[in-house]
């Protein structure tokens, strides 16, 4: 590589090419040839897999065209099309549909990559003839932008490319660009908000005047932050600046809403006030492509401010969210507190983004974790817990894992990633292929299919598989001259030359030089196999031995790891069980005399100090998340008691002085899983109590909300369980944020006390609030009572009415 190229990458003086970044990484990695893996894939096998991925695309594409077109999607089990307003509704999930032949539009650029110019030309003619947008239909702004606007723009760009390079399609006069412009204008009313952050949904014909959208106020961070690539390209190709202006304004508004202490973002916000509704922060659902578009907006448009913002967020994610190869959501305002105990499959895009930004080692680590999840469950489930058990069992044929596999292979040349791709391909062939396309899997444990084939299967999943097994010379275009959008549509880097209304923010007070420190790939010598090897048995629990010379930290310590136990013993630390062994509680003692050496003894002292800080932090985090169900001991008493309860991930969080107070009533039937409650008329304005079981937590919450309850208490169905002896957990939802009432969980022993109070007082009123706020409230009451008593005593003393104190009994 020439010094000129290195200078361009290092100093960012010119618009960077992704291939420059990738080649630089490859040149770094290839220095250590002695560690090159031996199980290389032959050219013959790779070519066979490339052709198999091509056949997979056509099997799905022809099934759609022959059985579903012009519908938006193919239903592969029914072998017919899915139309909005005709096919039975799936609720909010159908907001992606607009009766605009989405799967065909989404697939157009894949046809070009496959070299099928004849079918591409035929498909373009169909789109121009059949697709229209003047429909009284509410659609998702985010999905319509990435799938439809992005698909039309990419197809337009490639059509003009083929006119010049392949001497075909001379009849084409930019019709798809005009269609993209029309659709863009139909999305613009969503941006008319006080913050500039767009509504989540819009009516294609009526804009925001649709009565169903009058109460629209919430959107997700990814929904609002995944617009700029398509809208900037639309503005620069049409010469109409309004699209890019609105998209920049939305990104600027989102940036201002970050938590200034942690630099993290939440996942759901109010578009009018800018208030956060869900403060969970991670890299998965609800926030994923916001990070992606920050970095890719810098690459495509050359605007430094997006690189600076990406780096600030990236550093925060790696500090708070990343735990080794895992990525666990935290609270943006309390970043040391975990907000949920599971990971979702959308985070699988993250290693690919890390590759593009130059941070290869953690990309290899997280990808290896994901690959082990796939091996463990055959297909990557929609979500899995921190101990890698299935949380949500669906597999929707998502592309993110294959996308990251592709970028890791391009960056490293390591044939391990070809083998990973082969396994992913063969698994899809075995478990998802049906006679009429490819069907999503409803539960990876049973293999049962779902009548669903999303458009991204053709737009992304099969596209990345084909690219993974293709050499650059196999492709009709040089993909390194393009940026892939989040829907894998291709936008050329040359778009930046069509006009640039942005400017450098390096001198702005908003950013400093540290925000630009991660602009180039790490130059550390690294080969992926060296990174993967220690993680080889990460999920199965067979941990590698502690590396000699590296101090074991308290955060990394695992009491079940024999090497960790040996390491702490060498540091002079002994462990003694406390109480019931089944509870796993231990006490640590440190002595310099028992240490293997003075250096080990000092390391042991540091370990103990870290353990103390970690214990304090965990206690504070647990207390901050605990909820209280409080009530007065009797109707005349000013004394209150509180029962401990756990929070939920799908309901509003009661923080600070916020609370809900009301009369409590038991659901009938008690488990609240029927569509109708027998005592529904008695529940409105009250706090409902329901038992765990028979249906999901969030289903109970939706039913409680439907009948007018102000809050829901879910009690455990396991006899004898108690919050004093068992760890409190937060109830998980199903990914939809439609519960507006607080929901808390209570173990059975605590509910027994509440039930007894309800029997004594049939109209018992309780207050649901944070436990830490209840403690503060009680302390404040006690302080006020003490002050009142002291003042009364002083007044009595001054009046001479103070009773004489009885002398103490002498011994």
**Which amino acids are annotated catalytic?**
143, 288, 382, 400
Output the CA angle 461-466-470, nearest 5 degrees: 150
Query: How far from 809 is each of 339, 802, 805, CA to CA, in Å?
Result: 57, 21, 12
With beta carbons less than 8 A apart as the criterion, state whether 515 and 530 touch.
no
Output the CA angle 151-66-105, nearest 5 degrees: 5
Q: Which residues contact 739 (CB under 8 A, 6 or more apart)?
A: 648, 650, 651, 652, 698, 701, 702, 705, 733
Q: What is the DSSP letter of 533?
A: G
Other CB atoms within 10 Å distance of the CB of residue 426: 12
Q: Which residues contact 528 (CB under 8 A, 6 or more apart)?
A: 29, 360, 364, 408, 412, 414, 416
Other CB atoms within 10 Å distance of the CB of residue 740: 10
Three-state SS string across 374-423, please?
Answer: HHHHCCCCCEEECCCCEEECCECCCCHHHHHHHHHHHHHCCCHHHHHHHH
In the numeric block, which tokens belong to residue 602? Answer: 């000092």
666 phi and psi, to 5 degrees?
A: -80, 140
3-state secondary structure of 240: coil
Output the CA angle 154-157-163, nearest 5 degrees: 135
With beta carbons less than 8 A apart as the criterion, state whether 434 and 76 touch.
yes
Distance, in Å, from the CA atom of 557 to the CA atom of 572, rounded to the nearest integer, reads 15
List helix spans (H) across 591-729.
598-625, 697-706
796 phi and psi, to 5 degrees?
A: -65, -40
Alpha carbons within 13 A on the beta-carbon side of 662: 21
Distance, in Å, from the CA atom of 172 to the CA atom of 175, rounded to the nearest integer, reads 7
3-state secondary structure of 633: coil
Q: Which of 507, 508, 513 is nearest to 312 (CA)?
A: 513
Q: Which of 6, 513, 9 is nearest to 308 (CA)?
A: 513
Query: How far from 10 is each of 21, 30, 516, 519, CA to CA, in Å?
Result: 10, 19, 11, 7
Q: Which of 726, 673, 669 is nearest to 695 (CA)?
A: 673
Extract the runs of DSSP E, i.e. beta strands, from 543-677.
573-577, 586-590, 627-632, 640-645, 660-666
Instruction: State yes or no: 366 annotated in a binding site.
Output: no
Q: Which residues contact 211 (CB under 8 A, 6 or more apart)?
A: none
Other CB atoms within 10 Å distance of the CB of residue 248: 24
In the numeric block, which tokens belong to residue 793? Answer: 């005593």
With beta carbons less than 8 A apart as the criterion, state whether 660 and 711 touch.
yes
Distance, in Å, from the CA atom of 597 to the CA atom of 405, rounded to the nearest integer, reads 45
Known binding residues for Ca(2+) are 486
């Amino acid at each position: 590589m020439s010094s000129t190229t290195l200078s361009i990458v290092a100093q960012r003086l010119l618009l960077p090419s992704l291939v420059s970044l990738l080649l630089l990484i490859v040149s770094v990695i290839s220095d250590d040839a002695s560690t090159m893996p031996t199980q290389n894939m032959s050219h013959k096998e790779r070519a066979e897999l490339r052709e198999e991925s091509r056949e997979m695309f056509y099997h799905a594409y022809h099934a759609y065209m022959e059985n579903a077109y012009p519908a938006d999607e193919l239903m592969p089990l029914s072998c017919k099309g899915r139309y909005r307003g005709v096919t039975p509704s799936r609720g909010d999930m159908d907001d992606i549909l607009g009766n605009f032949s989405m799967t065909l539009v989404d697939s157009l650029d894949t046809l070009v990559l496959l070299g099928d110019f004849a079918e591409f030309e035929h498909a373009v003619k169909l789109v121009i003839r059949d697709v229209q947008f003047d429909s009284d239909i509410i659609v998702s702004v985010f999905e319509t932008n990435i799938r439809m606007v992005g698909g039309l723009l990419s197809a337009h760009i490639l059509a003009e490319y083929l006119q010049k390079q392949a001497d075909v399609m001379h009849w084409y006069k930019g019709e798809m660009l005009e269609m993209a412009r029309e659709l863009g204008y139909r999305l613009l009313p969503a941006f008319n908000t006080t913050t500039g952050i767009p509504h989540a949904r819009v009516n294609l014909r009526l804009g925001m005047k649709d009565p169903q959208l009058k109460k629209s106020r919430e959107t997700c961070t990814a929904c609002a932050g995944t617009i700029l690539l398509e809208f900037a390209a639309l503005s620069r190709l049409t010469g109409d600046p309004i699209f890019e202006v609105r998209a920049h304004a939305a990104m600027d508004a989102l940036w201002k809403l970050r938590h200034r202490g942690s630099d993290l973002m939440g996942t759901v916000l109010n578009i009018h006030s800018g208030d956060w509704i869900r403060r969970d922060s991670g890299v998965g659902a609800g926030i994923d492509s916001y990070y992606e578009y920050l970095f890719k907006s810098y690459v495509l448009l050359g605007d430094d401010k997006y690189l600076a913002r990406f780096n600030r967020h990236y550093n925060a994610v790696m500090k708070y969210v990343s735990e080794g190869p895992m990525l666990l959501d935290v609270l943006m305002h309390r970043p040391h507190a975990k907000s949920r105990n599971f990971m979702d499959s959308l985070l699988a895009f993250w290693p690919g983004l890390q590759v593009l930004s130059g941070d290869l080692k953690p990309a290899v680590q997280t990808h290896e974790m994901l690959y082990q999840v796939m091996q463990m469950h055959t297909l990557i489930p929609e979500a899995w817990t921190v101990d890698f058990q299935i949380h949500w069992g669906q597999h929707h044929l998502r592309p993110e894992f294959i996308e990251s596999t592709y970028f890791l292979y391009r960056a490293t040349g390591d044939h391990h990633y070809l083998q990973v791709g082969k396994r992913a391909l063969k698994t899809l062939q075995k478990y998802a292929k049906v006679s009429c396309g490819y069907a999503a899997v409803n539960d990876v444990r049973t293999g049962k299919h779902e009548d669903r084939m999303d458009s991204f299967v053709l737009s992304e999943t099969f596209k990345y598989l084909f690219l993974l097994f293709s050499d650059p010379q196999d492709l009709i275009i040089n993909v390194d001259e393009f940026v892939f959008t989040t829907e894998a549509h291709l936008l050329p880097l040359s778009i930046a030359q069509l006009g640039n209304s942005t400017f450098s923010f390096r001198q702005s007070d908003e950013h400093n030089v540290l925000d630009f420190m991660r602009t180039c790939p790490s130059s550390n010598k690294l080969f992926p196999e060296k990174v993967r090897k220690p993680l080889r048995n990460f999920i199965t629990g067979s941990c590698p031995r502690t590396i000699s010379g590296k101090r074991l930290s308290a955060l990394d310590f695992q009491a079940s790891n024999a090497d960790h136990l040996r390491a702490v013993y060498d540091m002079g630390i002994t462990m003694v069980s406390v109480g019931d062994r089944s509870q796993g509680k231990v006490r640590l003692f440190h002595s310099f005399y028992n240490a293997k050496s003075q250096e080990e003894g000092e390391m042991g002292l540091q370990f103990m100090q870290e353990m103390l800080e970690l214990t304090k932090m965990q206690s504070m985090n647990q207390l901050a998340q605990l909820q209280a169900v409080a009530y007065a001991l009797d109707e005349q008493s000013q004394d209150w008691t509180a029962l401990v309860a756990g929070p939920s991930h799908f309901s509003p969080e009661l923080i600070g002085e916020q609370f809900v107070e009301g009369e409590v009533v038991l659901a009938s039937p008690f488990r609240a899983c029927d569509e109708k409650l027998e005592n529904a008329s008695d529940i409105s304005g009250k706090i409902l109590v329901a038992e765990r079981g028979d249906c999901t937590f969030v289903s109970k919450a939706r039913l409680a909300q439907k009948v007018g309850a102000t809050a829901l208490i879910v009690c455990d169905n396991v006899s004898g369980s108690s919050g004093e002896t068992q760890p409190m957990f937060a109830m998980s939802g199903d990914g939809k944020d439609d519960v507006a009432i607080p929901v808390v969980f209570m173990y059975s022993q605590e509910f027994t006390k509440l039930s007894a109070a309800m029997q004594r007082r049939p109209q018992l009123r309780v207050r649901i609030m944070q436990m830490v706020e209840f403690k503060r409230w009680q302390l404040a009451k006690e302080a006020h009572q003490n002050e009142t008593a002291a003042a009364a005593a002083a007044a009595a003393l001054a009046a001479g009415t103070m009773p004489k104190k009885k002398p103490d009994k002498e011994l």
